A and B are shown apart, each in its own frame.
Chain A
């Protein structure tokens, strides 16, 4: 017999209300049964019981327990635990053909530009592409961060101002830098136009990518793609370079219009960012600037080595064609990291899996880049190009590609500060080296310049890749 708080001795109903009986009772209410099986402690069961109309009264009178909590204790001990995890978010895919296609979106403009130049029979200076590229790259990175911050605030109404702001600021900056370059390095109208056009295209394309409108960007690129591929004979359509050039212009217009379509949707609101977002955008501005400067130096030395750009095209194509592979491996790394996070049972296992993923991704990208680089060297050999500079340029492209890959990995896990340290260090050392060469040799030849670039970026890439192997294993990055 059990003496209950009300002083009345009751038969030990509880002896009969064993755990099995409770389990049987729960079967009549599947929702409550599930709640009890997934409860993490008895108090949760008590809370659930109350929401199903089971209170102290029923616990005492029907089941013979002293109170609701005693009943909950018994149920907790009697019902097997069942794990019901959170609804799985869309699992990150490992990457694949879509990433390769995305790489195509990044690479194709490299074909549009020479087609447009030859089609319009203009002769811009070598600096036009680097100016447009560097300015747009830097500003594009900054705008991407700001757009991301607005998306994080669920702010869709600032899109119009972001679009116009990006286009105006980028075109103005490109124009200013192009005029400056014209004045200091010599140039012509075509050079300024090319710089601004490249900048505007990259700004507009960057906006579409930020708004996850890759398909729209791909559609806008159709005219230029068809025209360019036809002009170089890769499609069974005969198109003159002039016509192809206008098709490139059509793509430029379409991309700019698509990037500003929010103007028609009345999405007007002055955007606001907190200090953290503003600081991050400045950092990514610096990051983009570093990427642009290194690429520009490469273009400059390549032009000096081979003014007709034939050699430059040969050594550049491995990097351009592996942009898709880079996307694919970045995507795959993120997927493997997410998997490691959700399945590793301790930090050592997690770190080991991250290191393996990193080496796999880096190795895959490097292998693809190497394969295409070797192909480029073979093509150059067949075309009787000068092999020493060709080899130097190919190696330089390789180190730049690997550097970009590692840097993108590190920035994706929030280590922008580390990346900036390396960029600043690289540029400072490279700058000092070039100045020394200038002082000693009275000038910087293409070979000396590219060698300095190769050694500096190669050293930075090696050190950064090694450090990334450890940095990426910090679970706090994800």
Chain B
């Protein structure tokens, strides 16, 4: 069986016999589960564990060749694919014909990013590249002089200098340099790599964000008409805008990259059968970027109530608690400035910051520590690292804070509320939907208001207790894991058009895949599946069927387990600082 050079696969053993109501789900993740902690990873883990008897394959887009798992994979995960974006790749040789087709497809892709209403052309270009990738490896092949020339033309049209909605008007071409083109080409080439990985084989694709995961979903859609359920915790596009801020790249590079992501976002909304944002707040962004309102079904994040108890007592020293990823979007700097103001009124107050920074955010972490030191908070504001127990972390303070400048439906807040803690949070994303009146809301980036709210709570025990009780009641009525999972079960059935009670046992798996292969041919698609050569991946077409992952699972177990569960890295998620719903998407920066 040939493997694509950019995808690594970890085979997991022993697949139990499934019952009649299960389906195969490809969970598509980017920069999160199962290699990194964070709110989206928490959600993924809950989803996979909670939606037995469905079987899952995990397709994790990573920055490099991550090996160390941050989560113990449950038994209903059959296979884990890791798709590194930034691994080194040598260009494979192509025929002259293939090279010409690749150039043409890339040219279409580039121009579709700047033409008005170029979404359909963008998707078509992706489809062409995908089809070509089935014949020959495209990893590293897009970086050519010709591609650069086309991209430069597109970047001149996309340049941000001229502020008009008419993208075809003349712009000053002086803003774009060859260096800009090279940077952009390099980034686009890497971002497209998931498109060239083996398409997921599943009954349903469930993407955890509308970003590069969509490329996998598109591939599955074109290969097997696999439906897509798209979850969005934060808004991927919005977070890209915030990540690609001024100073990160030149305006020309930022402009073309944001157009790339905008087109990709639109594509995701078009192919998704169901769109399940984590909050109602995000609906406006979805609709503004092409999502059909009728397909939007918000599903709130949930927590397992049994894991969260109210603390019987409070610490003796007034303490504020913050828990999350040390990330610019979390605005730890405002947290520290607010705390400094609190200490002017309540000098005995302490601040405990639970959480760690990813390697990409180490410089931000250092900046925060410098700020802490410059504010004279060395002994009173402590960076505690990852919390062993999130409940204990919340209970170690009087008030839980959230200072983010962008959020989806933050787990931190839900968990803190479920633990009976009063909260002060910034009014971003779905925060207001979470807290309602059971918590204090302040504007983002406003240390004065944050500090005032903290002081109010710290000095009023009765208010704290009242808000804490109301918060717990609200969390356990609206944000339970059970509720969330029930909704997803229904959405899975809806997306696949299945009635769960009539679902047949799929021991052989073959017939449904073959049927889909037949449908592909019958519809006169651009590429007939059975004709695909098998250069870059083992054939998955009708006439060249390779064993599905189920068969491979059985073979592995019959052979005595090539990989045993106990051999897998089993870094427990205990004490993971669950923060928010924002995807860790900084790997592209």
Contact = CB atoms under 8 A, between A and B. Distances in A.
Interface of A: 31, 34-35, 38-41, 43-44, 46-48, 50-53, 55-56, 67-69, 76-77, 79-81, 83-87, 274, 276, 340-347, 350, 474-476, 478
B160 A41 contact: yes
Given A43-B262, A276-B88, A476-B143, A342 B179 contact: yes
17 contacts: A31-B445, A38-B251, A41-B258, A48-B241, A51-B406, A51-B428, A52-B444, A53-B427, A68-B284, A69-B284, A81-B163, A83-B161, A85-B251, A87-B247, A276-B88, A343-B177, A475-B181
Given A43-B262, A475-B148, A51 B445 contact: yes
Nearest to A341: B179
Nearest to A154: B359
B428 A81 contact: no
A38 B175 CA distance: 13
Contact of A44 (B164, B241, B445): B241
Nearest to A69: B288
B278 to A, nearest CB: 16
Contacts of B237: 43
A274 B245 contact: no
A44 B258 contact: yes
Given A81-B161, A86-B247, A476 B145 contact: yes
A276 B145 contact: no
A40 B428 CA distance: 22
Q: Which of B246, B406, B445 has the most CB of A within 10 A?
A: B246
A170 to B, nearest CB: 27
Nearest to B405: A51
A80 B251 CA distance: 13
A375 to B, nearest CB: 41
Nearest to A152: B88
B251 A83 contact: yes
A56 B174 CA distance: 36
Nearest to B160: A40
B68 interface: no
A53 B445 contact: yes
A476 B161 contact: no
B444 A345 contact: no
A350 B246 contact: no
A52 to B, nearest CB: 6
B246 A51 contact: no
A342 B427 CA distance: 41
The 5 closest A-B pairs by CB, nearest first: A53-B443, A38-B246, A51-B405, A40-B160, A341-B179
A475 B149 CA distance: 10
A344 B177 contact: yes
A448 B477 CA distance: 96
Contacts of B174: 345
B436 to A, nearest CB: 16
A305 B54 CA distance: 83
A230 to B, nearest CB: 50
A52 B442 CA distance: 11
Contacts of B262: 41, 43
B177 A40 contact: no
A345 B144 contact: no
Interface string B194-237: 00000000000000000000000000000000000000000001
Interface of B: 88, 90, 143-145, 148-149, 152, 160-164, 173-179, 181-182, 237-238, 241-242, 245-251, 254-255, 258-259, 262, 284, 288-289, 405-406, 426-429, 443-446
B246 A34 contact: yes
A40 B444 contact: no
Contacts of B149: 347
Given A86-B248, A475-B148, A341 B444 contact: no
B62 to A, nearest CB: 16
A276 B428 CA distance: 46
A474 B146 CA distance: 11
Contact of A86 (B250, B258, B444): B250
Given A40-B254, A340-B178, A51 B242 contact: yes
Contact of B446 (A47, A53, A85, A476): A53
Contacts of A346: 152, 178
A41 B159 CA distance: 10
Contacts of A350: 178
A52 B175 contact: no
A55 B259 CA distance: 23
Q: Which of A34, A40, A41, A340 has the most CB of B within 10 A?
A: A40
Nearest to B175: A83
A50 B238 CA distance: 10
A53 B444 contact: yes
B446 A345 contact: no
Contacts of A475: 145, 148, 178, 181-182
Contacts of A43: 237-238, 241, 258, 262, 288-289
Contacts of B427: 53, 55
A341 B251 contact: no
Given A79-B163, A86-B248, 17 more contacts: A38-B246, A50-B238, A51-B405, A52-B443, A52-B444, A53-B427, A53-B446, A83-B250, A84-B246, A85-B251, A276-B90, A343-B177, A344-B179, A345-B174, A345-B176, A475-B145, A476-B145
A81 B251 contact: yes
A344 B149 CA distance: 13
Given A52-B444, A68-B284, A86 B249 contact: yes
Contacts of B175: 83
Contacts of A81: 160-163, 251
A40 B180 CA distance: 15
B250 A476 contact: no
Contacts of B238: 43, 46-47, 50
Contacts of B426: 53
A151 B268 CA distance: 39
Nearest to B248: A86
Contacts of B254: 40
Nearest to B426: A53
A347 B161 contact: no
Nearest to B432: A55
Contacts of B176: 345
B161 A51 contact: no
B284 A347 contact: no
Given A38-B246, A40-B255, A53-B427, A77 B179 contact: no
B101 to A, nearest CB: 19
A418 to B, nearest CB: 15
A40 B253 CA distance: 10
A40 B251 contact: yes
B215 to A, nearest CB: 21
Contacts of A52: 405, 443-445
Q: Which of B251, B255, B443 has the most CB of A within 10 A?
A: B251
A345 B251 contact: no
Nearest to B446: A53
Q: Which of B176, B245, B249, B250 has the most CB of A within 10 A?
A: B245
A345 to B, nearest CB: 6
Contacts of B177: 341-345
Nearest to B253: A86
B242 A47 contact: yes
A86 B254 CA distance: 11
A86 B245 CA distance: 9
Contacts of A53: 426-427, 443-446
Given A41-B160, A345-B173, A67 B284 contact: yes
A25 B251 CA distance: 24
A338 to B, nearest CB: 8
A47 B143 contact: no
A87 B181 CA distance: 18
A85 B405 contact: no
Nearest to A338: B179
A476 B406 contact: no
Contacts of A56: 284
A52 B423 CA distance: 20
A85 B250 contact: yes
B241 A347 contact: no
